[in-house]
């Protein structure tokens, strides 16, 4: 029988893996936009280490900042629609 600690431990590693892959995806996406001559980045190994160490913190922060910006953009669009009508 699984205990609560085992379940929490499994969910933690699942969250850690998802956040790591999310951060690696975002870093690769941003590095491709900034790359010169097809080089991935200046220090791809350092990017992976930071993603491994801080991915579980960076993912929720990135998602919340994206959410705030999209809500802010929505309010701007609503305000512009009110002014135009």
Count of domains forming the chain: 1
Tokens read off for 61: 């922060």
Going by pLDDT thresholds of 50, 70 and 90, the confidence category of residue 40 is low
Mean pLDDT, residues 17-41 = 76
Which pTM does this prediction carry? 0.69
Least confident range of 19-23, 26-30, 53-57:
26-30
The domain in which residue 26 lies consists of: 4-84
User: Dihedral, CA atoms, 6, 18, 68, 49, nearest 10 degrees?
Assistant: 110
């Amino acid at each position: 029988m699984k205990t609560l600690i085992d379940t929490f431990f499994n969910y933690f590693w699942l969250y850690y893996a998802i956040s790591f892959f999310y951060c690696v995806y975002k870093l690769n996406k941003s590095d491709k936009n900034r790359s010169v001559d097809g080089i991935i980045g200046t220090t791809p190994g350092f990017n992976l280490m930071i993603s491994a160490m801080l991915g579980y913190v960076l993912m929720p922060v990135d998602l919340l900042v994206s959410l705030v910006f999209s809500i802010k953009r929505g309010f701007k669009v609503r305000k512009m629609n009110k002014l135009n009508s």
